[in-house]
Structure 1
Amino acid sequence: MGWHDVTIHGICVQPSTSPDNPLPRLLLDIDYIVRWVHPVAPEQHFTFWIAPSTLAFEDVWDFEGDLAFGGMALHLDIDRLHRSAPDDGRGGPVHGSDPGWHIEGHYFDLRFRATGYHQYVRQAPLHSKRLVLTHHDRGGLGFAETAFA
């Protein structure tokens, strides 16, 4: 899976409801780019198949990040999402080998540990000339963890 140029519309830290596992979850409301469509002459620009989706990271800890709005209208677009093996010897509340996650974006940077993730495609992909869907087309904000039928 690739998340380059994916737009984040919302971020939610969901508290744990389990006394056995106090770690929260991190939910991202995203426009997942299912496919980039090469232009066919006379068109000169790519188009995209985009699906509103929820990206849910499990058992999140050691969360840190930066967010820098420059006073202009902008989207939180992911440049790269990295998963790495822990190398700092700190261990973790769940497993000592929980991977590190790093979401590098345009105007933001998030780093955290999590045991894994799930992605839920909430709607059938829509064809778009832009990399981001309108609020109306995507059905507003959402963090549902069910796939469309």
Structure 2
Amino acid sequence: MSADDHQESGLSKSVWSDADFEDMWWHYATVHGLHVQRTEADSPRLLLDLDYIVQWVQPLPPEKHFTFWVSPATLVFEDVQDLEGGLGFRGRSPELEIDALHRLTPDDGRQDLPHWHVEGHAFDLRFRASGFRQYFRHAPRLTSRYALPAADRGGCSFDEAAFA
């Protein structure tokens, strides 16, 4: 199945990029893994394995709870510099959920590497990167939770192949 055929979830394609930033929303996306990768060209990359909520589905009465179209995805930032951040669970279960992803205009005149801020509920990442690609690894599944069970998502993965 191609992403073009997955109209029920609203997913229009299986690879997105920073050019699609205004159309994307990472609120409550669950992060299952983070990997900093150095390439042969010595250009660091930041990879996040996450469950991306493609669409929130309003409940129809008598139902009271939302359901969600969720797809496991790999979010890859290129040319990463000045990476900093932290974790802070403080009694919460150790789940990393994104609250928002911000693209900020640099104040130092270096437009080639915008600032990015991944604002999480129990973590925070700030860095510069030239851009990103997000690969939807499987077709979205309708579920009652923000995150898919490990068996349904294929475990933790940084695969950069989108479903066909």
TM-score (norm 2): 0.82
- What residue identity is the alignment partner of 2:48? L
CA deviation map 1:60-111 (0-9, x unaligned) = 001000111224423100001100111035x4xxxx5310000110110000
Residue number in structure 1 paired with 2:66 = 46
Write the distance in 2 (CA, Å) between the matches of 1:75 and 1:138: 16
Q: Is the 8 A contact 1:102 1:110 kept in 2?
A: yes
Q: Return 5+ residue gaps in structure 2 as ranges.
A: 1-23
Residue number in structure 2 paired with 1:102 = 117
Residue number in structure 2 paired with 1:83 = 103
CA RMSD of aligned residues (A): 1.2
Write the distance in 2 (CA, Å) between the matches of 1:53 and 1:97: 26
SS at match of 1:137: helix
Say whether 1:36 aligns with 2:56.
yes
Residue number in structure 2 paired with 1:2 = 25
SS at match of 1:136: helix
Instruction: Pick one of 132, 157, 160 that aligns with 1:142.
Output: 157
The alignment covers a number of residue pairs equal to: 141
TM-score (norm 1): 0.90
Q: Is the 8 A contact 1:38 1:46 kept in 2?
A: yes
Q: Return 5+ residue gaps in structure 1 as ranges.
A: none
Say whether 1:14 aligns with 2:37.
yes
Deviates more, 1:115-124 or 1:64-73: 64-73
Q: Is the 8 A contact 1:48 1:131 kept in 2?
A: yes
Instruction: Pick one of 62, 69, 77 that aligns with 1:57.
Output: 77
Q: By how many angstroms is 1:15 displaced? A: 0.8
- What residue identity is the alignment partner of 1:74? P
Identity across matched positions, percent: 57
